[in-house]
Chain A
Amino acid sequence: MRYSGWQVIAKGLRGQRGWQPAWRDPAPKLAYQVIIIGAGGHGLATAYYLAKNHGITDVAVLERGWLGGGNVGRNTTIVRANYHLDGNTEFYSHSLKLWEGLEQELNYNVMMSQRGIINLAHSDGQMDFYARRGNAMRMQGDDAELLDRDRVRRAYPGLNHDNPRFPILGGLRQRRAGTARHDAVAWGFARGADRRGVDLVQNCEVTGFRIERGRVTGVETTRGFIGAGKVGMAVAGRTSQVAQMAGLRLPIESHVLQAFVTEGLKPVLPGVVTFGMGHFYISQSDKGGLVYGGDLDFYNSYAARGNLPMIEHVHEAGMALMPMLGRARMLRHWGGIMDMSMDGSPIIDRTPIDGLYLNGGWCYGGFKATPASGWCFAHLIATDRPSPHAMRLRLDRFETGHVLDEEGTGAQPNKH
């Protein structure tokens, strides 16, 4: 069934009867050409592009819980392509282009809203750094502009531009950046993959790999063994745990990143604002809630929840940046498990085991990467060669030293 305004009206006139399930609930078959572990955004997008770009539809996506229940359903929904290192720039650039056509591609309104992002600068050194980043973005073919103090003041009147501690000197803006409705991204890819014949199998936890003579032949699951020619892992947050079942030890730590939303408020913020000196970022959802967050809690965690020191720090940064937030109230806070890689950049690569592929290490960048991650991972699985958009997201870069360390903080994941 194709979604459209006409359908909404037609079904509305019939009391909302006649809608079909967004996806089937198939029982897993005995074997598939490709199994994707993890029905998060990346796993679902991978399945979608395997079918769409490569014609591979004998695919199952296996999900321990409910689809879209991992980080795709608990992030702060920001989409941007404002990286400065080769390897990241071209990948995220490709992702932003895919975002721009995603509604029409999926026939699903993921509410990609290009209301822009600004990274605020508070010192000349920061302005230079943002200029460098902006130039890298422009050379990649993406948009970027460096705003001076007055232009930031006009574009974002709600901020404390004259904070005595961190006065705002300017900022780097990307107009094509914005936000998207996170759940809809998972559901849109799920529906798209399902319509192309992919089996989405929920409540099916992978408990082990079957590996024969260095080649993966299938996975053990809570619903029995399922054979596969190729297996892709897309389980960011839990990558170490799943890879360990295949005997792999990875350059990844799992950390908790918290996020926050306020009660609904009339619009006060046009786009996404990041306050790097405070490790703080904020946007306002279409529903009116201010969605914001900050840094990691700093310790390894699989608990998907954090603690007060970082909660307070984030709110302190909010008060420093936007004193008008004082009488807004934080409604809910939660945490996601981040796959923090040793250089802060992701990995899309083969593993030492034939037929087993790795997609992980997304740090905080996973949501905006969703379409390109699926696109590139599908390309890798289908062709056994890296996508041109993800040539440098290799697993061996840590051994060779060709790391992609955007923050320059070295092999300490909680600093990225």
Chain B
Amino acid sequence: MRLETGGLIDRAAPLGFRFDGREYSGFQGDTLASALLAGGVRLMGRSFKYHRPRGVLSAGSDEPNALMEVGTGARRRPNTRATVQELYEGLEARSQNRWPSLAWDAGQVSDLLAPFLGAGFYYKTFMWPAAFWERVYEPLIRRAAGLGRLSGKRDPDACDKAFAHCDLLVIGAGPAGLMAALMAAEAGARVILADEDCRPGGRLLAEREQVDGAPGHAWAAELWDALAQMPNVTPMPRTTVTGAYDGGTFGALERVAEHMARPPEAAPRLTFWRIAARRAILAAGALERPVAFPHNDRPGVMLAGAARAYANRWAVAPGRRVAVFTNNDDGWRTARDLSAQGIEVAALIDSRAGVTPPEGPWQLMTGTHVTDTRGRLGLRAVQTRDGGGRHRWLEVDTLAVSGGWNPALHLTCHMNGRPRWNPAIHAFVPASDAVPGLDVAGAALGQFSTRGAMKSGQYRARKALEALGFEPPSIPVPNAEDTPPRLSPLWQVPRTRGRAWLDFQNDVTVKDVALAHAENFRSVEHMKRYTTLGMATDQGKSANVGALGVMADLAGREIAQIGTTTFRPPYTPIDIAALGAGADGRGFAPHRLPPSHAYGLERGAPTVEAGLWHRAAYYPREGETHWRESCDREARMVRQAVGVCDVTSLGKIDVQGTDAAAFLDRVYANTMSTLKPGRVRYGLMLRDDGFVMDDGTCARLGPEHFVVTTTTAAAGQVMAHLEFCAQCLWPQLDVALVSVTEAWAQCAIAGPKSRDLVDGLLDAPLGAFPFMACGEVSVRGVGARLFRISFSGEHAYELAVPARYGDALFRRLVDRAETLGGGPYGMEALNVLRIEKGLLTHAELHGRTTADDLGLGRMVKPGSIGHRMRERAGLSGRWREQLVGLEAVEPGARLNGGARLVAAGAAQVRQMDQGYVTSVCWSPQLDRYIALGFLRDGRNRTGEVLDIVDHMRSGAAQAQVVPLPFFDPEGGRLRA
């Protein structure tokens, strides 16, 4: 119910919204929770396990109960805390985890079964019959579990990520944070001041306190505005610092547009910030804790500070007739403030005897506890028990409960810091230096008075500024309330019957903790895991410390002896869209395109991924309806005339220096120093464990100048490896490495007519240019490099020009090829041509092959990387699987990559496995399927027929081992 006056709301700006289909209205400045309370809604959710009716407990991000689906269609966001969702016009909210309606929820039947559903009951049952778990029990459990529903659709709103840097990050813009930020700002430091709320002030927003004679919220707003005017200060409202990471890095979630129906044009919904801060101050305040007593979970039972916040900040009466139940002086303020707003406060119940709460228009009950409550969908009455043990019922619809305050020290736990119990204030306080560079100030440190928090903020800022080398200014501390509240611990009301909740969302009661204790789940972690306490969406913000108190009571020990509480990041949950911003669609991985890509698009060429590159798979011609038709034609074209293929994606590394040759001798298994300038050699690189890393070519352009190529997929790995060799292993060698993959566009020109094509293209006649020659040439005045190398077994060249000419070169080559009866060919045909020649890709060089497996063992020379460890017994020998050629025995029968091989007639079991198929193609040249594979002792098994084991796909039943290569074994075409 809305109060007539007061509140930080704009009564001139009413906002209409809907909850479960009913229309309500609130004001600008409301949260969804405050507007619902103002509209008389107390039942806002259902608990997870027992589907108990629940109302709002808190007024902040620690809310365990009032979780809702907000938004519609693809914008629906489940599990939204109504307490932090700012109201906007047209907001649609829906209760969740209930059926058919919030008031009549069939799931509540589980509450009737509660006597049997104690902590961990599911570990003890649902085991018979065994097959029933997946078929019966689990589907039922899964359907009943879960909270809100995802929309199942792609989010239409974008999110963003960004970096920020500062000298001092101040987390929280309450009294401590504002004073710390002011100090640092005046000192000239670059300051980021972040607060999860939309307004500065922190707890001051919820209080009726004065600071320097002005309302606390006004003081905060004025200071915030002044800070915002300073060029060295970045205020970040609606920004929750979610996690502390190494090196002064903090994660922060800015809710840019969640207070509106959809983001404005070009704005993100959320931005996830990585803030690199030289120092940081945590001034996140404190969170109030409830007290466990029977049926303390009914709608209408809320935290005393929250009740005050609703009345003071939002001008909402949390109920018509309120009782306050507290174990500390701070709770008294709720009675005072509510009463001052004209709300009937029936009783101020203080668990402490011998204290003198303020007098007022309420019944004072000291030394008294609340021992039970009534009301199915909302509180109707509470039962009290005075010091003499006399019970009585009190008709109230709201009970404001305070069990004291816990410092919001969560960020100090993110690097394994363990909070320490401070018996003076009956709360955990942060361990010092738990996060390097992070100081804690204000209530987060246990300084619960306003002025104490301000002083603490100033003090920590001074220390931080000194560490940063800034001169701290001298700034007077404003006048403000300066009395820390006194408290007498009360975790659970003693000597009561009935379920008393600790974790509201997960329905963990005192009895569950007691059961865990009885079953010897006595370490804090065992208790939490066994009961699920603290595992809900609020991560135990309201439950953890109370549960420790209960455990201490059970064990008859002090909390400090029981253990500590800890919190993992994030402080509040982060939308996956924010942390994964930009990755939907194409954004997840780089998408590299070769120079011929535009040409390929024009020709309708589909692309296939190779490494990060997307290369043309084939170039369909009119009338071709299947990729195989295009592929077969292109492969034949290369064998019969000439084909052009963009091979730019192959890694290219420029190696120069007086020791370049010596360097290459070490990194390649074979010798490169004997290579003459103007010549190219095949090269094999091993890892130091003796297995093959990569292969490629090495061209010597000059005495101290080489260009080495790598496979597309391994380009980055080989470059990093060579840099490692040059910088870490042999820094004394004079060698310089540059990746030139992107600098040169490179095209293969392959086929019997390739010489005609190339010769006609160059500015000067080609002359003698034997197989494995290389040299500098000129194409229409552009300096180019020509290599006589072949990945097809044909007479072939690779021509490289500066990348900006790549598109033009490719088109010119294709034009000329077409006049010679040829044309472009793609990856599919390239693959056919290389398989026919028994040449390798990473299907064969998969990291477990040795040079010997490939029949290249004799290439490996002493002194090269990998040659020592390849001597190990496991890396050679006939038991190893060796590269072989395979053909289907049945004519036309299909071979499949990934099929496995056993001896003919052998059992198809692991123990009989002889090898596997790596690369397969239809060879138009040989008119049958051919394959490469690895086979035990394969080189000695030529001619043998093997059984093919392929449970995955259908294909040939038998294959014969044939010699490699399949085509032109003498290599005559290559050298022609």
Contacts and interface: CB of A to CB of B under 8 A. Distances in A.
A325 B588 contact: no
Interface stretch (B322-330, B482-490, B893-901): B893-901
B523 interface: yes
A115 B677 CA distance: 62
Interface in A195-228: 202
Interface string A134-155: 1110111100111000000000
A135 B899 contact: yes
B354 interface: no
A158 B846 CA distance: 32
Contacts of A264: 48, 79, 145-148, 536-537
Contacts of B589: 165-166, 277-278, 320
Given A131-B950, A264-B79, A410-B687, A327 B133 contact: no
Interface in A280-330: 284, 286-288, 303-305, 307-308, 311-312, 315-320, 323-330
Contacts of B950: 131, 135
Given A3-B123, A183-B529, A268-B150, A135 B843 contact: no
A246 interface: no
A276 interface: no
Given A262-B573, A288-B146, A410-B689, A107 B127 contact: yes
A111 B952 contact: no
Interface string A1-35: 00111011101110110011111110000000000
A311 B537 contact: no
A112 interface: yes
A112 B579 CA distance: 31
Contact of B142 (A21, A24, A286): A286
Interface string B506-544: 000001000100111101011001101000110100000
Given A319-B583, A331-B537, A131 B898 contact: yes
Given A22-B520, A165-B586, A305-B416, A329 B869 contact: no
Given A12-B116, A400-B873, A317 B583 contact: yes
Given A288-B142, A408-B846, A9 B584 contact: no
Interface string A233-275: 0000000000000000000000000000011111110000000
A356 to B, nearest CB: 25
A232 B572 CA distance: 42
Interface in B155-206: 155, 159, 161
Contacts of A138: 949, 951
B969 interface: no
Residue from B415, B579, B842 having most chain A Cβ neighbours under 10 A = B579
A408 B843 CA distance: 11
A131 B898 CA distance: 5
A405 interface: yes
B152 A268 contact: yes
B138 A286 contact: yes
A103 interface: yes
Interface string B938-976: 000000000001111100000000000000000000000
A327 B583 contact: no
Interface in A333-351: 333-334
Interface stretch (A122-130, A358-366, A375-383): A122-130
Given A4-B124, A66-B523, A401-B690, A12 B588 contact: no
B218 interface: no
A277 to B, nearest CB: 7
Interface in B568-607: 568-570, 573-577, 579-589, 591
A101 interface: yes
Given A21-B519, A263-B537, A288-B146, A320 B949 contact: no
Interface residues of B, number: 120
A89 B910 CA distance: 9
Contacts of B916: 132, 135
Contacts of A68: 526, 529
Contacts of A73: 525, 529
B874 interface: yes
B588 A86 contact: no
Contact of A265 (B147, B874, B898): B147
A69 interface: yes
A187 interface: yes
Nearest to B146: A288
Contact of A164 (B246, B580, B585): B585
A363 B834 CA distance: 37
A408 B847 contact: yes
A333 B568 contact: yes
Contacts of B897: 124-125, 127-129, 131-132
Contacts of A140: 909-910
B691 interface: yes
A407 interface: yes
A403 interface: yes
B123 A184 contact: yes
Contacts of A8: 116, 121, 124-125
Contacts of B949: 135, 138-139
A287 B898 CA distance: 38
Contacts of A131: 896-899, 950, 952-953
Contacts of A409: 847
A1 B835 CA distance: 66
B133 A112 contact: yes
Interface string A84-117: 0010011000000000010110011111111100
Interface string A35-52: 000000000000000000
B872 A7 contact: no
Interface string B210-253: 00000000000000000000000000000000010110010100
Given A3-B123, A329-B573, A400-B872, A16 B511 contact: yes
A405 B847 contact: yes
Contacts of A13: 115
A407 B847 contact: yes
A54 interface: no
A385 interface: no
Given A16-B118, A128-B918, A327 B155 contact: yes
A5 to B, nearest CB: 4
A66 B116 CA distance: 28
Residue from B118, B146, B842 having most chain A Cβ neighbours under 10 A = B146
B951 A135 contact: yes
Given A5-B128, A267-B143, A324-B152, A329 B913 contact: no
Nearest to A25: B520
Nearest to B901: A135
Given A108-B127, A165-B586, A262-B573, 20 more contacts: A86-B913, A109-B122, A109-B123, A135-B949, A163-B588, A165-B585, A183-B529, A262-B576, A263-B573, A266-B150, A286-B142, A288-B145, A308-B245, A315-B583, A316-B579, A319-B580, A323-B153, A324-B151, A328-B576, A401-B869
Interface of B: 48, 75-79, 115-118, 121-128, 130, 133-134, 138, 141-143, 145-155, 159, 161, 243, 245-246, 249, 251, 272, 274, 414-416, 511, 515, 518-521, 523, 525-526, 529-530, 532, 536-537, 539, 568-570, 573-577, 579-589, 591, 608-609, 687-691, 693, 842-843, 846-848, 869, 872-875, 896-900, 908-910, 913, 916-920, 949-953
26 contacts: A8-B121, A12-B116, A15-B115, A15-B511, A19-B515, A113-B133, A113-B138, A128-B897, A135-B950, A141-B910, A165-B586, A183-B530, A263-B147, A286-B145, A287-B145, A307-B245, A311-B251, A312-B272, A315-B579, A324-B150, A324-B151, A325-B580, A327-B577, A328-B78, A330-B573, A401-B872
Interface of A: 3-5, 7-9, 11-13, 15-16, 19-25, 65-66, 68-69, 73, 86, 89-90, 101, 103-104, 107-115, 122-125, 127-136, 138-141, 144-146, 158, 160, 163-166, 181, 183-184, 187-188, 202, 262-268, 277-278, 284, 286-288, 303-305, 307-308, 311-312, 315-320, 323-334, 397, 399-403, 405, 407-411
